Each structure stands twice: as structure tokens, then as C-alpha cells.
Structure 1
Amino acid sequence: MIIYINDKPCEAEVGDLLLHAAQRHNSHIGCICGGNGICQSCFVYIKEGAESLSQPSEEEKAFISEKLFQDGGRLACQTVITGAGTIKVLSRAENLRRIVIGLNVPGFITYAQTIGYNVLNKLPGGAANVVSRVMEGKLNPADSIGKIGNSIGYGARLAVHTATENLPILQIPLSVISGAAKGVFDTASGLVCTVSGGQLHLPGSTCSSHETQQTKPVESITITVK
């Protein structure tokens, strides 16, 4: 089946976590804690298809306010696809980006108020939930650190992939980029040569007006290291 994350089509199957479906297709959803359910970086808005998803977990209830639940808020690392259907998801970062680009001032004010309320009212309960899971052995600190490390690696790969997709220059072979850079450097050296009357050149560069001439050093210096 195909689901849509930030309007990007992603293949998914019943039983998949929303977070994993997004990661397989480089569709950005935050994952600072690596899927441990101890932060809200993977917070998303379910725009369509809530009936095809699992019910909110205890971890989600600990971190998400009722107001955000009403707006379709979920944690992608806890939300499982339970049935076929049209599912459309918007990450928190993408939602905010659209508000800002659209110059939606009322929307931004509402967004800030809702998030601020959620942080103030749910942070204590979220922290208590994390401590409780650690005490009960449901959350292993060593395993959590490993997952966080994996999420950092994934974030780095996603950043490179996104930059490559959006900056065409990064798709040019490195040798071509290096050659172009050297050409610019040599041109700059020629300009320095002209301004200085042939006395100065940039190190490591060539100058078209002098590259065929044999130049002698102005002065030789011997350096002895004791």
C-alpha cells in the first residue's frame, strides 16, 4: 500500500511503524531518541486515515495533550499501521514550515500556544513515564543510547540525501567541481599578477602570462632545524 508522508508517497505494509516507513523513503520525520518514545521529535499530524492506525499508546498519552490528539497528533515511533486505507501524515517540522512560508500569522500564534501548553502540561507526566519504564525494565538505558546513536547516523544520511536532491551542484562529479574551482583560482592569480605588475602570484596556481616562463627566486633562504 502507499501512504503519504509530507505529501511524498511511501510504500508501507500493515504492521509498519509510521517512523520506519518514513525512514525507508527518506521522508523526514524527526527521531532524536531513536524510537524509544522518550521525546516528541517524531510528532506528526494525521491528516487522513486515523482509522487505519493503532490506538494511542501509554507513551503517547504521557507526552501528548488532548488538544493535540484532537488535531491528529501522534508519535510516529509508536504508531502502527493496522489496516489498508488512505493515510496522509504531516511532520511537525513540515507543518511549521508551511505556516511560516504561507505567512500565516494567526496559524503560527495558534501553533505556538498549543505547543507551549503541551510542553508545560505534559512534560512532568512524560518524564514520570520514562522513569517508570526504566524502573520496570521496559526501557534499557544502554539499548536506548544505541538507538539514539543509530538515529544520529540516519539523520546525517538524510541530510546528505536531501541536500543532493535539492542542490543540483552536489550531483556533479567531484573531479568536475575541483577543476572548476582550480580554474577560478588560476583566474584570480592572473588578476593578482596584473595588479602587482608580475611580482605576486597565488601559491599553487598558474598564471597564463607567466606559466611558460622560468622564474628565478628573488632570494634563497636556508633554514636549519636544531
Structure 2
Amino acid sequence: MADMPTPCLPAEEFQHRLLTWFNKHGRHDLPWQSPRSAYRVWVSEIMLQQTQVTTVIPYFERFMSRFPTLEALATAPQDDVLHHWTGLGYYARARNLHKAAQVAMEEHGGELPTESVETLMALPGIGRSTAGAIISQSTGRQAAILDGNVKRSLTRLHAVAGWPGKPAVERSLWALAEYFTPTTRLADYTQAVMDFGATLCKRSKPDCLICPFNDVCRAYAQGEPQR
């Protein structure tokens, strides 16, 4: 982790503060949280790329009604899959979802290969953060995520300079994400770190005054909370 900035807090303290906040303010009743199967988490994560949670919920519920299992998705005509995606946009997501389901049926016995981040990333449309989200939420094993919300909050907390998509900056953010990821309560932690960026450390008008990290946030200390 040579590229990692000095963490704003020890990992255990960061986890404690975040999960304490999540217990009270996090989202605990999302439809893909019960049951939290790898298939349901995967579909939700793909839908949530570029799309708000409130928009995704009714689409997710309709999609699950039509394609309740990975096999149902894999064996459906692509036109049917795209029809149930209508309104979400970014249709390459739906095509990759369909293709990945078919690959899972053909090569992995009809299950998502959650053995590792790398095995999931071999499927179409699954990147490192999505793979981490699937593993941490559906299996409870340690796997970090770095979606847009997490990138933003970690960048602010550590006053990381540079565009987050730049390889060197992204390596630094991944190092932080992995450092802070706990070994217990993985599903809750993953949801918490996403919720924190989506609902409190927002892109515009972050709620710094009620943030559990405002005493250690370097961007806030520098007077640049929206950096």
C-alpha cells in the first residue's frame, strides 16, 4: 500500500463511526437486501451504475418478477431483457447482464463465481468495485468497493489531489478503500460506505456539520468540502 495517503483515522475507528452512523441513518429496507443473494445484489449493482436508488427500486422489483433467477435471465430472449430495462438507459448494462448470466450458466454451473473478485471480473460488465460489492454483500467475505460515492468521500476525507480517474489517484483511493474495509459486518459496511457518499457526503451541498468525520476531514479543514 505504498501509494496510500495517511488514513484520516485508524481503520477500526473509521468503521465504528461509519457503522454507528449507518445504524441510525442508513438504508436498511432496500429490496435487494432481503434476500441478499449474489444474483439479486449483482442485478441491483448494475442497475445502480449511473442511476439513483429511488429510480432503480421499481425497475429492480419488476425485473426480479420477470427474471427471479440467474437461469431465468440467461434463458430469456435478449429483447425481453431489454424491454424490462426500458427507462433505465445505458442499455449496454442490460446486454452485459444477459451475456454474463449465460456465461455463468455455461461455465459456472448456473451460479455467479463469487470465489474471488477476479473470477467475477471475468464476466461481462463486472468491474472491480461491482465484484467487491457482490462478494461483500452476498457472502460476507472481505472485499473493498470504490464506486463514485466512495471515491468522492475518500477524496474529501483525505484531500486527495488530482482527478479520481487518474491511475495514480485511483490506486491511492483503492488502497484507502481496502485499508478501511473490515472483516465483519461486510454487508452493512458496504451499504454504509455507499449510503454515506450518496446521502451525506453528497456531490453538492454535503452535510458537513452533521458528518461523523468532520473533525478529521481534510477537505473540510481546508475550507474546500466540495473539492
Q: Does TM, normalized by the shorter one, top 0.5?
A: no
Structure showing the higher helix proportion among its residues: 2
Q: Please, what TM-score do these two structures have when normalized by structure 2?
A: 0.24
Higher relative contact order at CA 8 Å, sep ≥6: structure 1 or structure 2?
2
Q: Which has the larger radius of gyration?
A: 1
